Amino acid sequence: MGFDYHKTDVNVRYYFTDGKWSDMEVTSDEYIKMHMSASCLHYGIELFEGLKAFRGVDGKVRLFRVEDNARRLRSSAERLCLPLPTVEMVVNACVEVVRRNEAYIPPYGTGASLYLRPVMFGTTAGLGVKPAKDALLIVYCSPVGAYFKQGIKPILVAIDREQDRAAPRGTGDVKVGGNYAASLLSGEKGHKMGYSNIMYLDAAEHKYIEECGACNFFGIKDGKYITPKSSSVLPSITNMSLRQLARDMGLEVEDRKIPVEELASFEECGGCGTAAVISPIGTIYDMQTEKTYSYSDKVGKISLELYTRLQDIQYGRAEDKYNWCTIVL
First-to-last alpha carbon distance for the chain, in angstroms, is 23
Q: How far apart are CA 34 and CA 16, in angstroms?
A: 13
Closest CA to 119 of 257, 219, 288, 5: 5
Q: How big, in percent rounded to 5, are the helix, strand and coil portions of the chain?
A: 25, 30, 45
Indicate the helix (H) or strand (E) that contains 303.
Answer: helix 301-314
Q: Cβ atoms within 10 A of the Cβ of 210, count?
A: 23
Is 175 catalytic? The answer is yes
* Cross-strand bridge partners of residue 225: 220, 253
**CA–CA distances in Å: residue 203 to residues 18, 166, 167, 193, 286:** 40, 7, 5, 23, 16
Q: Indicate the residue type of 82.
A: L
- Please tell me which residue in 60, 149, 175, 229 is annotated as part of the active site: 175
Q: How far apart are CA 137 and CA 159, in angstroms?
A: 35
Question: Which residues participate in catalysis according to the annotation?
Answer: 175
